């Protein structure tokens, strides 16, 4: 009996360990360093604190923060992929000498395609989705006057399944050495074993599958929470716009993510069991895969952008110091976008022979969906009209969105015209359009929301001075990176192109794109500097009122940072801008009541760990591992289901005591003179502070708390 074969499966051997420059670097940078950071944090703060207060928490605020921390790490990971792609294309002209053993540039063709695939998967699934779910987790319960989500355990389970997907998408660095080289949606038949015999596609399948199940669970949880847990008096037509955008987004997620799950299972069956759903050789149909994956793929863009639309609605209203110009129109616009988004997916393959009638219908729908989107834009512009606008950093991100998303929207209408799409399909024009929408719409919306709600996250606002610098580097970098991409697409440059002939004359534009990418990287570095400078100056930047922007919705009625129980007493709502109305009246005396809360649980961590092991077993065909792991998942779920000791009560007297302690330790508000004279730290001042701090550490040989 071959025990090595039984234990390690059919594919795992010593050759799978890191042995190339990028797998060694990736193992260290994206696996070992994060683990080291968690170990260091556990040593500094204590493992009991890290495990008991964070990893096992069911508090949606803490889960939201963890989503955003992991998403921030993956943003750096996906951004590095983008820079590698831009550098390769800038060096990819055939008149340039190659290095690192390849003829053009510094990446082999296969390695380049793997990076393309990883970049797309990471930025959509593990950056944008995670940031959005982080914001929804933290803000939606506060906006609707709830203390928790409807299903707290499912919330922590959804997050840890996402983390398992993050580990899986990076695991190829440590074990396997390759990722899928198939494009970010692993188009059939390229994903089949005939063309992709390695483990890269299997890592792709299971990273998306595990995280996708977590997304579906979380979306159901958010829908039930919004429908069933609103504060007394808050009807559906009094919901804040961010909550409406989140509700529309989650309804779409519940509609299309099961389709992604089914598609991935069919792909897995083709590779693992030898079926032929998507392979021509066995009577399958690759076009079936293309249709199924885009039935999920195009709505996914709107799943991401609708909560961002909600963020912009909140920010425009608050920073214009006006109610939204037409609330009902804005809500109907979001509903219209989410409804029409389910009927446009075929425009991704107009060129694949669907027929003139089919193309005409989906081309028309692709243009019609621009109407509710434009309506939303007009609502925001009308809100700005005659408003007393404050150009704080959140407002700047909205204005940046208007610029980038307008470009993306106009180019999208062009691509919705089948004859135009026939010319531009598979070109860089399409890539530029996609990034204009996802970066300009989704990522800028996320940055807008983080700057806007950061006082709720941490108890102090972000540095405005460095935040403005970061914004301008992002805007300039985006324009330098993607406007040349539109031009290259019109000139015939195709996507996923790792090298090209010098006679095309494309290289100068690729070099400009690289410069733009480096400019964006500076913007990201400045965002990290913005957070660090804010932590250093947190006492001066402290939010002492809970309402630093003069907000209009219920989240601003709570303290900053938000206490564990959100509200000492669930508020009663009578108008749309509930907190604005409360401020106009005399605020009622603070009330206290017994609070029913849910105990922390480690079940989500263990189920997700077993899900990761099951996926790893399927990737490497280790039968005993996936059998044991699936059994462990079932046992864990059953044990959790029969655990009735899952709740506790915080008596009203204890709530009152906690509130008194919080007020006793509340930071003092700066005097009027201090507020007028104080200016946020600049980048240069931050550099000088860090140099002085480093010198102090060297001199005293001790780390001082920031």
At 525-558, the pLDDT tens digits run 999 999 999 999 999 999 988 999 999 999 999 9
Region 515-519: mean pLDDT is: 97
**156-166 pLDDT, tens digit each:** 999 999 999 99
> What are the residue ranges of helices labelled H in 280-344?
286-320, 327-340
pLDDT higher than 60, residue 195: yes
Q: What is the pLDDT of residue 530?
A: 97
CB 191 within 8 A of CB 128: no
C-alpha triplet 162, 168, 173: angle, nearest 5°: 140
Quote the pLDDT of residue 70.
95
d(CA 196, CA 199): 8
pLDDT of residue 651: 87
pLDDT at residue 6 greater than cutoff 70: no
pLDDT tens digits, residue range 626-643?
999 999 999 999 999 998
Encoded tokens for 502:
């010098």
Considering the entire predicted model, what is its pTM?
Answer: 0.95
Band (pLDDT 50/70/90 cuts) for residue 588 is low
Average pLDDT over residues 608-626: 94
Which residues pair with residue 598 across a beta bridge? 647
Q: How far is CA 548 from CA 320, 453, 551, 677, in A?
A: 15, 10, 8, 18
| Model confidence band, residue 36 (pLDDT cutoffs 50, 70, 90) | confident
- Whose CA is closest to 316, among 449, 171, 174, 150? 449
For residue 573, the model assigns a pLDDT of 92
Three-state SS for 103?
A: coil
**pLDDT score of 21 more than 70:** no
Alpha helices in 555-622 (DSSP H): 578-584, 603-620
Is residue 673 scored above 70 in pLDDT?
no
Nearest-angstrom CA–CA distance, 647 and 596: 7
Say whether pLDDT at 676 is over 70: no
Average pLDDT, the chain: 90
Q: At residue 135, does pLDDT exceed 60?
A: yes
Q: Return the minimum-mean-pLDDT range out of 21-35, 606-620, 679-693.
A: 21-35
- The CB density around residue 644, as the number of other CB atoms within 10 Å, is 6
Mean pLDDT of 289-315: 95
For 536-567, letters b (16+ CB in 10 Å) and e give bbbebbbbbebbbbebbbbbbbbbbbbebbbb
- pLDDT range class, residue 586, cuts 50, 70, 90: low
Give me the residues paired with residue 55 across strands: none
Alpha-carbon distance values, 535 to 466, 541, 542 (Å): 13, 9, 10
Check pLDDT > 60 for residue 100. Answer: no
Averaged pLDDT, 360-384: 93
**Angle formed at CA 650 by CA 63 and CA 141, multiple of 5 degrees:** 35
**What is residue 95's predicted lDDT score, i.e. its pLDDT?**
62
Split at pLDDT 50, 70, 90, the class of 105 is confident
Average pLDDT over residues 419-441: 93
Q: What is the pLDDT of residue 661?
A: 83
Above 80 in pLDDT, residue 45? no
Q: Per-residue pLDDT for 468 more than 70?
A: yes
Task: Name the residue with higher pLDDT: 671 or 568.
Answer: 568
Q: Where are the domains of the chain?
A: 56-601+646-695
How far the first Cα of the chain sits from its last, in Å, is 60
Angstrom CA distances, 315 to 147, 243, 324, 415, 449, stand at: 23, 13, 10, 31, 8
Contact 619, 629 (CB under 8 A): no
Q: What kind of architecture, by CATH, is found in domain 56-601+646-695?
A: Up-down Bundle (1.20)
Q: Is pLDDT at 675 greater than 60 in this prediction?
A: no
Please check the confidence at residue 5 and state whether its pLDDT lies above 70.
no
Helical H segments across 322-461, by residue range: 327-340, 356-368, 370-384, 393-415, 418-424, 428-437, 444-458
| Mean pLDDT in residue range 385-409 | 94
Q: What is the pLDDT, as a whole number, of residue 602?
A: 94
- When pLDDT is averaged across residues 247-268 and rounded to a whole number, the result is 96
- Per-residue pLDDT averaged across 458-481, rounded? 96
Quick: pLDDT tens for 57-84: 999 999 999 999 999 999 999 999 999 9
pLDDT at 590 over 80: no
The number of beta carbons lying within 10 Å of the beta carbon of residue 33 is 12
pLDDT over threshold 60, residue 272? yes
Averaged pLDDT, 14-43: 72
From the list 391, 404, 375, the residue with the least C-alpha distance to 315 is 391
In whole angstroms, give the CA distance from residue 333 to residue 335. Answer: 5
Q: List the single range of 232-246, 297-311, 354-368 with lowest mean pLDDT.
A: 354-368
Of 255, 385, 393, 249, nearest to 308 by C-alpha is 249
């Amino acid at each position: 009996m071959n025990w090595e074969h039984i234990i390690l499966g059919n594919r795992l051997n010593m050759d799978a360990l890191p042995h190339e420059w990028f797998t060694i670097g990736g193992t260290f940078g994206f696996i070992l360093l994060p683990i080291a950071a968690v170990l260091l944090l556990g040593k500094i703060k204590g493992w009991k604190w890290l495990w008991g207060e964070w990893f096992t928490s069911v508090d949606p605020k803490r889960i939201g923060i963890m989503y955003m921390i992991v998403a921030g790490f993956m943003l750096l990971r996906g951004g590095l992929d983008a820079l590698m792609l831009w550098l390769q294309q800038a060096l990819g002209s055939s008149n340039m000498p190659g290095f690192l053993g390849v003829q053009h540039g510094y990446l082999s063709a296969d390695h380049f395609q793997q990076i393309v695939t990883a970049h797309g998967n990471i930025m959509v699934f593990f950056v944008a989705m995670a940031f959005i779910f982080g914001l929804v987790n933290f803000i939606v319960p506060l906006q609707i006057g709830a203390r928790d989500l409807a299903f707290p355990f499912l919330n922590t389970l959804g997050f840890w399944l996402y983390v398992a997907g993050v580990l899986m998408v990076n695991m190829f660095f440590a074990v396997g050495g390759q990722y899928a080289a198939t494009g970010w949606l692993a188009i059939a038949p390229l994903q089949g074993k005939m063309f992709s015999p390695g483990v890269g596609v299997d890592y792709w399948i299971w990273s998306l599958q595990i995280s996708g199940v977590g997304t579906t669970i979380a979306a159901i949880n958010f829908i039930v929470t919004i429908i069933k847990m609103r504060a007394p008096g808050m009807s559906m037509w009094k919901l804040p716009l961010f909550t409406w955008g989140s509700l529309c987004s989650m309804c779409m997620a519940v509609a299309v993510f099961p389709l992604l799950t089914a598609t991935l299972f069919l792909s897995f069956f083709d590779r693992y069991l030898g079926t032929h759903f998507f392979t021509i050789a066995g009577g399958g149909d690759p076009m079936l895969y293309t249709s199924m994956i885009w039935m999920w793929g195009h709505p996914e863009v709107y799943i991401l952008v609708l909560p961002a639309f909600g963020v912009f609605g909140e920010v425009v209203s608050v920073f214009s110091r006006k109610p939204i110009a037409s609330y009902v129109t804005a809500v109907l616009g979001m509903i219209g976008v989410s409804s029409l988004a389910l009927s446009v997916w075929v425009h991704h393959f107009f060129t694949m022979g669907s027929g003139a009638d089919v193309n005409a219908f989906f081309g028309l729908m692709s243009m019609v969906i621009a109407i509710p989107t434009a309506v939303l834009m007009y609502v925001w512009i009308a809100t700005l009209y005659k408003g007393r606008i404050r150009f704080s950093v959140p407002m700047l991100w909205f204005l940046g969105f208007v610029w980038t998303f307008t470009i993306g929207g106009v180019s999208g209408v062009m691509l919705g015209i089948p004859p135009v799409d026939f010319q531009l399909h598979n070109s860089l024009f399409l890539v530029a359009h996609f990034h204009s929408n996802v970066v300009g719409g989704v990522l800028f919306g996320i940055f807008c929301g983080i700057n806007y709600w950061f006082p709720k996250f941490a108890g102090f606002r972000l540095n405005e001075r460095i935040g403005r610098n970061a914004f301008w580097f992002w805007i300039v970098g985006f324009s330098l990176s993607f406007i040349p991409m539109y031009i290259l697409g019109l000139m015939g440059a195709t996507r996923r192109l790792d090298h090209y002939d010098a006679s095309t004359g494309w290289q100068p534009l690729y070099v400009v794109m690289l410069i733009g990418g480096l400019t964006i990287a500076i913007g990201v570095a400045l965002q990290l500097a913005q957070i660090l400078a804010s932590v250093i100056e947190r006492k001066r930047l402290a939010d002492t009122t809970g309402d630093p922007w003069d907000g209009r919705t219920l989240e601003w009625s709570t303290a900053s940072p938000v206490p564990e129980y959100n509200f000492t007493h669930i508020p009663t709502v009578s108008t749309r801008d509930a907190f604005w109305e409360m401020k106009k009246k005399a605020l009622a005396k603070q009330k206290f009541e017994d609070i029913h809360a849910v105990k922390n649980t480690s079940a989500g961590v263990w189920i997700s760990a077993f899900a990761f092991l099951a996926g790893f077993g399927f990737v490497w065909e280790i039968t005993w591992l996936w059998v044991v792991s699936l059994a462990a998942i079932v046992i864990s779920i059953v044990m959790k289901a029969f655990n009735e000791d899952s709740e506790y009560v915080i008596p009203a007297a204890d709530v009152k005591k906690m509130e008194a302690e919080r007020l006793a330790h509340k930071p003092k508000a700066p005097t009027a003179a201090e507020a007028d004279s104080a200016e946020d730290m600049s980048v240069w001042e931050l550099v000088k502070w860090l140099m002085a701090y480093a010198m102090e550490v060297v001199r005293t040989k001790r780390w001082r708390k920031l």
